Chains A and B, each alone.
Chain A
């Protein structure tokens, strides 16, 4: 038995070595994910981007990924391991990987890093994110049109600027249709806990919300909406198969082009540290099919998305009032990029406190 195991182990070792020998001249691109690629949400879309690299640049690059990496010391260890294994480009795909990425990047100056949704950069660390809030504004308008109770429930993950920005954009969109629209917020304090996301959705529905939207990574909340007969929106990927009658539309992230471009840049030697913040205009964010709604609501949503795309409409165009009544942006102005990036305040009308 022991001999057999040793033999098996050596076969496995030899084959592993031979694979890496063949692949040595390819650029190795590493990814670390906060959840599993099978979440059909945030991580799923990043994994689609990874597969796009394989499909389009497979002759020159190969990808590896590590899933379910907790934010914190584990992340630093995992990123270090990818760098040691010879990855030339590493995508770290969650906000909480920011400091671990910076720490590892300092130790591996020749490796390029790309950190999603963060704000710290150096010569070998780029950041990239998407203006998801543009999509949130569109679904806010749809929500206000479709809601009977005038109350929507919003399941947040962590109170970080990216999520708060989405909440504010949603409500600002809704208020253009119904100035008295109410928004209840429940924080799951987790990116991925299907059970808790479902609990939060049930709680919000029992408190009168007839629209559920979420900034967490699983499809649990839209399924509860389907079961209880209220409307919901997909987040990160098209969640229509999970809630064919409840889903109105989805905000879909599309990282494919960005990932392929950045990998190509490393291959060409033209990679430099940048900050990318793509929206509906660049295709990094796009809206899923508009379903389960009357034609006029659909037309309104399409018009809003189109106006955002060409830059005629900014979700945070003034006047924008903070929760305490102070003015965040006056008529004719928009909330400045600094406040957007570090957003730690709610707009007027949110039924929650930060």
Chain B
């Protein structure tokens, strides 16, 4: 494209990075939050904080399901775990589009009334589909692909990659310190960036590049999945028969595994003589994301199949997606992922800022494109933290019995984000826009523990003395984040006083009418 391969890659890195940078920043940041999605969900449901952890009472759960969904086609029981202390039962009634769901106390099986919230699942769904269903999955996939390309292009243009890592020149020309920050964070975590982006794509291979399925299965995905997982199913007999003891079947299933705990119990055609019970193992002690499964005849309790997913390509695939999903439970690694995700978000953010700062340094006149980039930078990099903090505030403030409460929490997030966009548009002085939005984000985060104190009894002065670190960490991380954001906002103020004129001068009317 250009005179040399390196120059072409330089061009590609710059422009692909810019066009997809804002989207990638949002995907990376929400992905980072998803690392602790279950902790966030737990924090957002204070009604569950009093649930006493206990081994699951499957008999009680089964009885609740029989009472609530006697004619369902399928029942699911999600067993409790130290990250999720309650039991979740769900069911699919024939002809209904949505599944029914209830949360139960693990020991007694009584139904728990919990405020309606998406919890950490909100960030998870934003991260991989932007809450736009299939279209969103495609957009995120395209962004991930471009991220991979940008990473490789970045490697090509930075030949002296290790020297770059050890260079930081804050006293050099203004944009050079941003360049160094971008390089250092990018190079330091290059393996992580590559792995997380690649594995993210691999997860949805069936949506993105289903060539193999089209060729060998005529496009029948379900058929392939059934073959890979050796799933069993059979038609209803329409002959009623009592279901075997779920507790006994679950105990029996565990004997087929090397230790390990159960995550799911699934019942197909409950109450029918052709019922099937699948007991699935929790994949929290291995890298490969495989839920070993034992399938029982639901009436007689006979073992019909034991599946372990041991074929090589499937294992490889499972390890790859396991590296991304991180169901492997190891607290230090989880925190490392969190910190690496934040650093990756910083790499993307510094890249976006660098693009603009370099061009403002080099061009005296103001371009319309610069103004658009400027607004998007503030709205996304500063605005997204505001929206995230607002989401947590909404969780504590929206009334408990508000209809569509979960949707209102989501609306709070998106509304705040749009407001930040509007604010960025209206504020001519971009440094002031940065300062104001960062300060708002900082305030919302720093005051969140205080809001928690005023609205629940799971606040820091209760959880810390009780040693409940899972809950206390959310408050603490928010507080620390707020302080850091205050620090950055303050530096923005300082910078506006000492920056070269070209960069700190607000875009005037002359530039864009």
Q: Is B a genuine binding partner of A?
A: no
Interfacial residues, chain B to chain A (CB-CB below 8 A): none
